[in-house]
Amino acid sequence: MRLGGGRVGRCDPTAGHTSGAPRGRLLKPYLGAVLPTLVITGLLTSARLVRDMAEDTLGLMRIQRIRAWYHRQFAGEHEFFADAVTSGGMQATWS
């Protein structure tokens, strides 16, 4: 004996949909709220990444100047901080 007219064990996609509104009408307000939020969040994140990259580059240049100063003052003929005084600048550090 089957209950439910033979639909036992099957998933009915319209079972919880009682408002009678088509799905397209619900999609526009959802996208109208979500997409601007995602775009604004993406723009703010990109701006923050660019600012952080500039700060990191400035910090690296300052560290290289400090290392070059120590190399000139104390290292002399030694190899300590030799990459800080090469003509390549930051390129020597990154390679």
Give the residue with greater pLDDT, 29 vs 75: 29
Q: Return the pLDDT at 62.
A: 95
Residue 40 identity: I
Which tokens belong to 17?
């949909």
Q: Return the pLDDT at 25.
A: 83
Give the residue with greater pLDDT, 95 vs 76: 76
pLDDT tens-digit readout, 10-61? 565 555 555 555 667 888 888 999 999 999 999 999 999 999 999 999 999 9
Q: Return the pLDDT at 73.
A: 83
Of 91, 57, 85, the C-alpha closest to 69 is: 85
d(CA 95, CA 93): 6
Q: Return the pLDDT at 58.
A: 97
